[in-house]
Structures are given as C-alpha cells and as structure tokens.
A and B are shown apart, each in its own frame.
Chain A
C-alpha cells in the first residue's frame, strides 16, 4: 500500500469510489481526459465482484460469463482471442488485473480505504471522508467531482419467510463450491442467473433438487448451433428483426410447470442457461412455486405442497447500497432506488455520477466504459466551458426516458436498472456527439 496522498484539498482531482471493473474503467477514462484521480477501494486488490478472494465476492467456483467475450470485453482492450467464448471467472479477474497494469491504474488506487461519506460543498465540490478498513483513522479530502463505482451485487437480499426453519439456509453469496451440496436434498429459491446456475449445480451433485421461482422467465441458451447465442442476437438488423430473432432463440419453461413469463423475450436481462432445460427434461430438477412459510423441517409452497429440504439456498439477488451518500444526492426513493439520468448522472449534482449501475442484456464492462467516457468528457466540458455545458444539460433534460430505459418490466428490484444495450449505447453516443458538437 502506498503512502497517503496529500491531506486536504485535492484541487481539480476526481474521487472514484471502488476499483471493480467500473472503477477501473472510470480511472482510465478520467486520466485519458487529463484528470488527476484518487480511487478508494475498501478491499486490498482490484476486481470487485470478480475477485473471489474478497469476502463480499458473489462468484462461486462454477461461475462463467453469461455474456460472450466480444459482448463483455472493454471496447478498447480486448480479451485474448484464444480465450473461450465464455471465460471462467478467474480469467475475468486476470483480465481486469491486466487492464489495471496495462494502463498503470494501480498508482491511482488507495487500497484498504472505505469511503464513508460524501458531502457537497460550494461550487460543485465534494468533501469525501475516507476511513481505513484496518480500523480507526479517517480523514476528509476535497474533490472537484465524485464518481461512484461501488457495484450493486454485494449486499445480499434475504426473503422474509414466516416461521422457523431448522435446516440450513444460506444466501447464494455464501455458496462457493458444490462440496456443500453432496448427498443433500436441496431447495434453491430464485430464478435469476444465480438461482438457475445453482439449481443446475445441485442437479449435478445433490440427491434431490427443488427450484422455486415466483414468476416465469425467458431462458436463452449459450449456443445456437455452434455460435454463441448473444452473437447471433447482435447481428446488425432493425430492432423488430432482432426482437423476432430473440423470440426464436429464447425459451419459456412452461412445459415443465414453470410460470409463463410476464414480458417479451429480452425485455429484461435474460437468464442464460442451456443446462436448466436439460436437467428439467431429465427429471433432476423439480420446479416448484414460491415458498409461503416454513416450520421445523418442513417448507410450505404456494400450491400447498410440503417439501423437506436439508439445505435451502436463497438466490434472491442483491440490493444497491450507498451508505456514504444521503438519499437525496442520488434522488433515491424510500426503497433505496436512485433516479439518475442515463442511470449515471445525478440530476441535481452535475459533479456526481455513478458508473456500472445498469442491468444490460449484454456484458457490463462496455457500458461502464462508455458511461465513464461520457462522465469524463462531461466534467471536462463543464470545467472548460460552463456555458456549453449548460446547453448540453438543457438538451439532455429533454431526452425521453423510454429511449434508453426499459420501463415495461415487472416492478421488482431485479429490474430497477434494466437497459437494452443497443438503445442505451445509442443514447450515450448521442450525448457524446452533443458534447462534441457544442463547440
């Protein structure tokens, strides 16, 4: 770990919170636009969610990308073309470490430092309080802007199920490898990517598997023939044609008694799992409805059935947490859901932005890259030419919400930050062009 930077006022420097994929690309792109950057990371190394050494990392031994390589890599730093279509999580971490080394990002990161508060002061500047995770000492530094890249997949959500269950219950974030499943009767709750992955792992290792979902989803396979399905879905085509193609590829699992989806395919981030139908079709996974209660060793389901699992894994997702920021800074509602322009720019604080707070139908890294390019150019424009910046802001305030955000989705937390990557990137591109053209 390096020495502490100068105490006090950091002038035009920008503070980045977190050194996961989003924080790394924020540092790189801010540096590229000429900003000095201090990034604070509470863990002792880069990689965020993909760094399985971190306690809060949600990845398990069997995590592979769900988005294929070309749709996942940073647009200006490709993954090696000799890697598989869907790299393993350890390769993703290696990739992020290489990205950090290649662009010399490490020297701008302060490890073992947690941002505990950000407070706006005069002229759009921020007082940032940082505390050493080793304990004790904290200090305040003043920055020209704050870019939050703290991730939204590390604070587990536990379902509230009435009653007392005597078996073992763990959240998926605590699940690491299949040894845990061997010889057990296992219930997996949750139909997102994690829930489906774990249902499959349980089918391969446990004695008996129930998979509880409270609604239906569309499932995309990883391959159509020998081509990664997302590559097929991203051939250049008008959006109606792309939708039709997706519909042909996506499957609902109503044949096996799962509920019908409430939206059209790819209207929400897809569950990508080619093996789930396989194990359903081989009778290794028993789909069941929502859990309504539990008592002793018994779990009651919505259809009145009673099952007796020994291990329950709640793959019920994560919620975003911004403990260091007052809710009004991000226009967050009472559930903690921020309301940001392009899920990125704070509406009332032009020098505050969030990177990586999206749920795309593609990999996250390219989106985080273009978000941080836009943030860096915006901060530069604002510093150099406030008048033009105001003009851009005015134009942006008229950008229709439905042009970049997917609103027609089920109103649960899983869909708060839903975007279609093509529409979303189109909006970011037009913002970049606006900033360019206002000369």
Chain B
C-alpha cells in the first residue's frame, strides 16, 4: 500500500468528530519540553490518565494532555482524532498510547511525525490479546466474540498490589465492546519522521503477555522496559509512579532541549 497516494483520505476524509481532551499543564512552561498526548485504549477514556499520570507528568514540567477519541470511531477515525489533537498543540508532540490505544498511536505515527512515541502495554496484535483473554477469563471474553460486551476480572487487569475495592471501582468504569479492527493484525505503518519509540509493560500483564511485549519492542527497534508485579493498567496500579517516572526519564534523554 502506498503511503503517498492516499485516495481514501483525498476522496473520503474523516469528518470532524467529538473528541474530549483533558490537560494538566506545568505551572511554568519554559517551552523546552514537548507536549505529551496520552491515548487510552478500548474500554476506558482519558480518565485513566487523569487519575495519576497527567498531573504527575505536569508536575515534572511536561505539558500533558489526554484525548478520548470519538465514541464508536473505527481505527482510522481514532487515529485521525489523535493526529488532529496533536497537530492542534503548539509544539511537536509525544504520543503515548495504552492497550489498544497503542495501536491507534501506531496508526497515527504513519500520519504525524511525533517527537517520540511510547507504547504502554500495547495491544498491537489483537489476536494474541484475545487468546490471552480467552485463557485467563473465558466467561468474560466469549460473549464479546458474539458482539456482546467484554467483561474483565480484577485479576486479569491489575496486579496483586492494588487494593480490591480500588480495583473494583476501576473495573466498574471499564466497559468494552471491542470493535473488530481494533483487534486486527494488519501491517502497521512505518512511523514518519523516525521518532524514538519505547515499549513499556509488565511481564505479569495477563492481557499483553511477555512475548508480545518483546515483539512490539523489536518492531520499533528496541527492548521493552519492564515493571514486574504490575498488571495491564500500569497507570492505575498502586505503584503507578514507577513507570511514568521511567517514561519521563527516557523522554528527557530522547528530547533534549533545542
């Protein structure tokens, strides 16, 4: 497929849609650091990042935003929403996607030269994720194969460190009706502008297993940064600060002040 001849984009552009953006800005922005744009995956919205990560990144000096793509949008529309949001920010932006949101980011990277990219617990190969879900939680997963909602268990999504009532509260907000193409495994585009890309995850994640993390990292030319003992939702766990600090440290090195 040609990345230059874009008949679909030329003849049938994605129309404007409702996307929600929440922002946490540093008290003083010297303009040295690129903005961060967090992209949630299926089943949760920007709120998953406002819990802890956005404010923390802002307190460390990074202008931080999370976008919830239009409800019901397909992969193309979601990637469009991410690119539109990034292009509306004042400076070249870092894209950070979680779960299937990482797949949306991977698509967006073919359309926007991100300053850098971070794929957190990325569901790039939906089939592998589906397999893992079927093994770990067959009762909650099988209905989704027939168009029903996907039901998760706390054990499936979170590490043992997260108190049960918190896990339950998060679970109640997570509801996914998976769209087929979010689970596809079509070829990911070559990122334009060659941004440095980091894959982050946990070897104990029951949604995205270790081999998937290795594969994702290899696709973008590196090794995954691992946080043992955590679940799928790194940003909602009790130890949420470790991964975001590591991500920010890495970004600091990759995007030296210009």
Determine, out of B4-12, B58-66, B232-240, the stretch whose residues face the partner at the interface: B4-12
Q: B10 near A77 (CB under 8 angstroms)?
A: no
A232 in the interface (beta carbon within 8 A)? yes
B180 in the interface (beta carbon within 8 A)? no
- Taking A81-B80, A104-B258, A429-B4 as contacts, is the C-beta distance between A70 and B10 under 8 angstroms? yes
B84 in the interface (beta carbon within 8 A)? yes
Interface readout for A72-97 with B: 1 if CB under 8 Å, 0 if not? Answer: 00011110111000000000000000
- Taking A81-B16, A81-B80, A102-B92 as contacts, is the C-beta distance between A70 and B4 under 8 angstroms? no
B residues less than 8 Å from A70 (CB atoms): 9-10, 13
A131 in the interface (beta carbon within 8 A)? no
Determine, out of A49-57, A136-144, A420-428, the stretch whose residues face the partner at the interface: A420-428
How many angstroms between the C-alpha atoms of A82 and B15 in the bound complex?
A: 8
How many angstroms between the C-alpha atoms of A104 and B10 in the bound complex?
A: 27
A79 to nearest B CB, angstroms? 8
How many angstroms between the C-alpha atoms of A10 and B194 in the bound complex?
A: 26
Name B91's closest neighbour in chain A (CB-CB): A102
A71 in the interface (beta carbon within 8 A)? yes
B residues less than 8 Å from A32 (CB atoms): 113, 193-194
A residues less than 8 Å from B84 (CB atoms): 78, 80-81
Interface footprint category on B:
20 to 34
B residues less than 8 Å from A71 (CB atoms): 10
B79 to nearest A CB, angstroms? 11
Q: B4 near A370 (CB under 8 angstroms)?
A: yes
Name B89's closest neighbour in chain A (CB-CB): A102
B residues less than 8 Å from A235 (CB atoms): 7, 11-12
B139 in the interface (beta carbon within 8 A)? no
How many angstroms between the C-alpha atoms of A104 and B258 in the bound complex?
A: 9
A335 in the interface (beta carbon within 8 A)? no
A residues less than 8 Å from B13 (CB atoms): 69-70, 81, 231
A254 in the interface (beta carbon within 8 A)? no
Q: B83 near A425 (CB under 8 angstroms)?
A: no
B4 to nearest A CB, angstroms? 4
- Taking A77-B87, A81-B84, A104-B92 as contacts, is the C-beta distance between A231 and B4 under 8 angstroms? no
Q: B4 near A76 (CB under 8 angstroms)?
A: no
How many angstroms between the C-alpha atoms of A103 and B195 in the bound complex?
A: 14
Q: B16 near A236 (CB under 8 angstroms)?
A: no
B14 in the interface (beta carbon within 8 A)? yes
How many angstroms between the C-alpha atoms of A101 and B31 in the bound complex?
A: 12
B112 in the interface (beta carbon within 8 A)? yes
How many angstroms between the C-alpha atoms of A76 and B191 in the bound complex?
A: 11
A234 in the interface (beta carbon within 8 A)? yes
B18 to nearest A CB, angstroms? 11
How many angstroms between the C-alpha atoms of A77 and B83 in the bound complex?
A: 8
A residues less than 8 Å from B193 (CB atoms): 32, 76
> Which 10 interchain pairs have the tightest Cβ spacing?
A236-B7, A234-B10, A235-B11, A81-B16, A70-B13, A429-B4, A234-B11, A82-B16, A231-B11, A32-B193
Chain A residues near B (Cβ < 8 Å): 32, 69-71, 75-78, 80-82, 98, 101-104, 107, 230-232, 234-236, 370, 422, 425-426, 428-429, 432
Given contacts A80-B88, A234-B10, 10 further A-B contacts (CB under 8 A): A69-B13, A75-B6, A75-B111, A76-B112, A76-B192, A78-B111, A101-B90, A234-B7, A235-B7, A429-B2
